[in-house]
Amino acid sequence: MTAIEKPSCYNLLCMSKELICLTDLTSDDLVALIAELGQPSYRAKQLQHWIYKELAASYGQMGNMPKTLREKLARKARISRIKPVHESMAKDGTVKTLFSLLDGRTIEASMMQHPAGKGKWRHTVCVSTQAGCALGCSFCATGQQGFERNLWPGEIIDQVIYFTRRMRHGVGVEVDAVPNVVFMGMGEPLANYDALMQVIDILNSPDGLNIGARSMTVSTAGLVPQIERFSQEKRQVRLAISLHAAADALRNKLVPLNKRYPLEALMKSCRAHIETTGRRITFEYILFENINDSVQQAVELAALLKGMNCHVNLIAANSTDNKNFKPPVHNIVLAFQHELERRHIPCTLRVSKGADINAGCGQLRSRFLGTERG
């Protein structure tokens, strides 16, 4: 299957020789599918309920659907595009899963849990939007794998559904629990823009997983035209910028996209986004030892963000096989944070999740590919 630049539609899928995937379809597409099968339109609502409310993994679970309809659907459409092939669980409860796609490519996603008080847990699912990535960020395992293709909407949604099933089967987790979703896995989400918007709408829909828009965050390395387009959307989804440097010379090395859209252009688009939407932007800043972790660099970051309605997430790098990008010692991290706070930049020091299972984006897939190619 070739890469898609726009979200799948029912007609496009029908032209394919492959089975349709139900999670690729919008509500209107499901109605069209049901009509083609000679069934009344209310069956589309029932089908949608089984996919997103009951999280059915097979047609056999769809108890109130006629057997003849289930048989027709099975010949026409599959329920999911992804299959888990490897899974790791960290001591902190983070789960990292490698999925195989129908064309043999692989992607990964993770679920993190955080205490939410009174014995409850808040879950965040981090999903991929592309197989591989074209941006080539020097510290990112995915960036070193190269770009393969954009994901279909269903391939993104299926990652969320997979982990939502896990949540419902967890001890002490409410049956109707749904996760926060961050589009921060493999790939650049805004480079798969139309599919991403379709996914957001389906996840947010009361007929979908009914995940609040503000419980979803789109992360970008800085695709300025797409940020400007995203600012005009009516969706209340949060925006995060993978920044990691406050000077062009360093950011050019860490995030090569900066050569095309340097900090001046990026900051201009961020300020416009805040003004247009009224929403705060998050800046993600991974700290690497002796690269971007000095107090002087914190001063530069504070100057760059001065006056913006923003929040900085500071994250000490995960230890990886790449010895060029090591985490700083804790005192250095605290000094960086203190300097931002002293200069009135709101910031939070995030705990790296899943360090003992190499949960950084692309690491599990890199090990898998290395094994397969070796």
Please give the positions annotated as active site.
108, 361
**Residue 126 near residue 351, CB atoms below 8 Å:** no
In the chain the first and final C-alpha atoms are separated, in Å, by 26
From CA 249, how far away is CA 113, in angstroms rounded?
36
Tokens 């910028």, residue located: 241
Give the three-class secondary structure for 357.
Answer: helix
CB-CB neighbours of 5 under 10 Å: 11
Determine the residue type at 214: R
CA 200 and chain centroid, separation: 11
Determine the residue type at 165: R
Provide the H-helix boundaries in 169-293: 193-204, 224-231, 248-254, 263-277
**Residue 100 near residue 178, CB atoms below 8 Å:** no
**Residue 316 near residue 276, CB atoms below 8 Å:** no
Secondary-structure breakdown of the chain: helix, strand, coil percentages, each rounded to the nearest 5: 40, 20, 40
Two tokens, residue 243: 């920044």
Tokens 């003004």, residue located: 275
Region for 41 from its dihedrals, namely left if φ exceeds 0, alpha if ψ lies in -120 to 50, beta otherwise: alpha
- Contacts with 173 (C-beta within 8 Å, 6 or more apart), sequence order: 121, 123, 167
Instruction: Indicate if the alpha-carbon torsion angle 222, 289, 131, 123 is positive or negative.
Output: negative
